[in-house]
Amino acid sequence: MDRRTFLLGTSGLAFSQLLIGCAGKNQIQLNVQLLKGSIPGQVVNKFRKGIKSEVKLKFSPINQIKNLFQQLQTWQQPKAKNQEGLTRFLSLIPSQKAPKADLVTLGDYWLKAAIEQKLIQPIETEQIKEWSGLDEKWQKVVRRDDQGNLNPQGQVWGAPYRWGSTVIVYNRDKFKEFDWQPQDWQDLWRSELRSRISLLNQPREVIGLVLKKLGKSYNTENLDQIPALKTELQALNQQVRFYDSTNYLEPLITGDTWLAVGWSSDIIPILNRYPKLAVVIPQSGTAIWADLWVSPAGVEKKALTSEWIDFCWQPNIAKQIAILTKTNSPMATNISNAELQEPFSHILLKNQEILKKSEFLLPLPSATIKQYESLFMKMKNLG
């Protein structure tokens, strides 16, 4: 799902907004800021056509989750006193804040910080018909207490609408001379890959994959109790050419690196263009991420907001989102092999055995986070 596809799909929507916008100030509106490429334009148009009353829809694609999180922070910043004084005399000064959206895309990993900083408010699932059809695993990850920690009795702070995982991507051409191909985390330590790998510049991801190799959890709290961990990290660092969370695919395409660890949302969209790249979900399990709808703090709760979340969870719509954005759906969609092009079918169809071994990166105590960061820094400095 690239930017061009999204714009083509929403071009009709932009025109309809212009026409409907003349209906008056009391017109119902839905303002959504979403991660670019995470919702097909066809889905937005279908939602608009299904609404009985006249509404104004505004869907604004944003490049990165980080930018969406920063926007949530901006909306909650109090106006400085000196600015308030100035605007009394200079009424023509434009506001620096964009109008608050009714819904925003946020990643599950950002959920704790958003709750702690009071950037978002709970979602009322009583108004959402499809909530009961959401698997317990997905319900559990968005039920949090007021500090953003998991709590089965907590309120619901987000609505997941698609998910993916951390995967291994490699250049097939570089492995033709070998009698093996990457299948699991342990392959990253093979001697043939010395200085040929790029890893994400993320402590939880890198230390997590080492923990997974050792049969432990991504969410291990006391790293000191894993005696083999430091040795494994040192050995892995010898394999790494560089650490980067953004520009890790180009060196793989040009052949400067042979293998990378990255996020499926980055990798899957380029596979058709570069057939020499192959992707594998590690057999011992991996990290899972989810894109969620969240409600900014202080925004009036509208029936239309619940309708949109409900719409995204309807089986046929959830299926369309999964297929067109090449991700998985948290709802049961019964996608068949025939409905997915290679090389996507083995990645997107849920392998239950691997899925059971996979984990969300859950909130950890601040002391534990510092432990991960310190160990990761030491690992990188060994180079």
**Residue 245 CB neighbours (<10 A):** 14
The confidence band for 13, taking pLDDT boundaries of 50, 70 and 90, is very low
Residue 82 buriedness (CB in 10 A; 0-12 / 13-18 / 19+): exposed
Checking if the pLDDT of 23 tops 70, the result is no
Q: Residues 136, 169: contact at Cβ < 8 Å? A: no
Mean pLDDT of 155-165: 96
**Side-chain half-sphere exposure of 293, counting CA atoms within 13 A:** 23
Q: In 3-state terms, the chain is what percent helix, strand and coil (to 5)?
A: 45, 20, 35
CA atoms of 187 and 175, how far apart (whole Å): 12
Mean pLDDT of 165-178: 95
SS3 call for 282: coil
Q: Prior bond to 122 cis, omega within 30?
A: no
Checking if the pLDDT of 12 tops 60, the result is no
Q: What is the DSSP letter of 93?
A: S
Mean pLDDT of 164-174: 95
User: For residue 169, what are the β-bridge partners?
Assistant: 260, 279
Q: What is the DSSP letter of 172?
A: G
**Side-chain half-sphere exposure of 36, counting CA atoms within 13 A:** 13
pLDDT tens, residue by residue, 43-85: 999 999 988 777 889 999 999 999 999 999 999 987 555 444 4
Q: Where do we find the tokens 């369309």?
A: 320
* Domain annotation for the chain: domains and CATH numbers: 3-163+289-345 (3.40.190.10), 164-288+351-381 (3.40.190.10)
Mean pLDDT of 334-361: 72
